[in-house]
A and B are shown apart, each in its own frame.
Chain A
């Protein structure tokens, strides 16, 4: 269906409709800002469209999509840092500010605090925590998406949980 030119567009449309929300929320948790997440999800699907002909079915479709989305989100943050010559902390502070006063943010205090706690984590830990805690993905799938061993992912998640607990204990 993906390789046939006549059905490719139809297949792509089905993929967009099926995965748009999951991928959008995955990106949004990394980027925080809605407008930026919107740009990133568009780029993600553009990459999916151009790569669909070469998609090898030795990996699951959803892990392939998640991998593209994660890479696009990380590339976006990297560009943002390079554009403003911002060190790592400043971008995270900017994201925390967006959580406090940005548009399209609507949650209770604990939800916002949890997101702020997640923002204090290193980038990779943050992604692992989001995928495990919010999206409840299996370690095997996360491993395929991020190209990291299951053991390392478990350790990463454990450290993330400890740090978040510590953060949540503080006022």
Chain B
């Protein structure tokens, strides 16, 4: 390419023409094509069913429902067997059924032994009092009247 000795001059005197061309008759056809595209879009928009319009919103709502269901299921799967820290017989059965493979006979025996209340002198006194009341045939109503 011929060296541009004075680029500024070339730049300033350069014809503001583009090296692009279009197929013949392009600008004669373009308005008709655009008009037909716009009309077909208009028709499509008119015939869009209601379901199509709310499709994205429905999908979003469904997502939330699934998420809530998963959270609910997950919570009940991992939550402690009983509320307030009080275990019922059903809870014990459930725990044993779920984790039966984790225990052997020795564990169960130890657990039973651990839960047995320790011997205390106050228990002996209470037993003695009960025996006395039974022996003297003092009933509950008489005691209530007395005190």
Contacts and interface: CB of A to CB of B under 8 A. Distances in A.
Interface centre among B1, B20, B30, B34 (most CB of A within 10 A): B20
B18 interface: yes
Contacts of B17: 107, 111
Contacts of A110: 4, 10, 14
A9 B38 CA distance: 10
A12 interface: yes
Given A45-B38, A164-B11, A20 B18 contact: no
Q: Interface size for chain A: under 10, 10 to 19, 20 to 34, or 35 or more residues? A: 35 or more
A28 B27 contact: no
A26 B8 CA distance: 25
A104 B30 CA distance: 17
A107 B16 CA distance: 12
Nearest to A99: B19
B21 interface: yes
B34 A45 contact: yes
B35 interface: yes
Contacts of A13: 31, 35
A81 to B, nearest CB: 22
A29 interface: yes
Interface in A102-140: 104-115, 133-134, 136
A36 B21 CA distance: 14
Nearest to A130: B18
A145 B122 CA distance: 94
A34 B14 contact: no
A106 B19 contact: yes
Contacts of B30: 16, 20, 24, 41
Interface in B16-48: 16-23, 27, 30-31, 33-35, 37-38, 41
Nearest to A52: B38
Interface in A8-37: 9, 12-13, 16-17, 20-21, 24-25, 28-29, 32, 34
Contacts of B20: 25, 28, 32, 34, 104-107
A49 interface: yes
B7 interface: yes
A163 B4 CA distance: 15
21 contacts: A9-B35, A13-B35, A16-B30, A24-B22, A25-B18, A28-B18, A34-B23, A45-B34, A46-B38, A49-B38, A104-B20, A105-B20, A107-B17, A108-B19, A111-B18, A113-B1, A134-B18, A168-B10, A168-B11, A169-B4, A171-B1
Given A46-B37, A165-B8, A169-B7, 20 more contacts: A13-B31, A13-B35, A16-B30, A24-B22, A25-B20, A34-B20, A41-B30, A42-B33, A42-B34, A49-B41, A104-B21, A104-B23, A106-B21, A107-B18, A108-B19, A110-B4, A112-B19, A114-B14, A168-B11, A171-B3
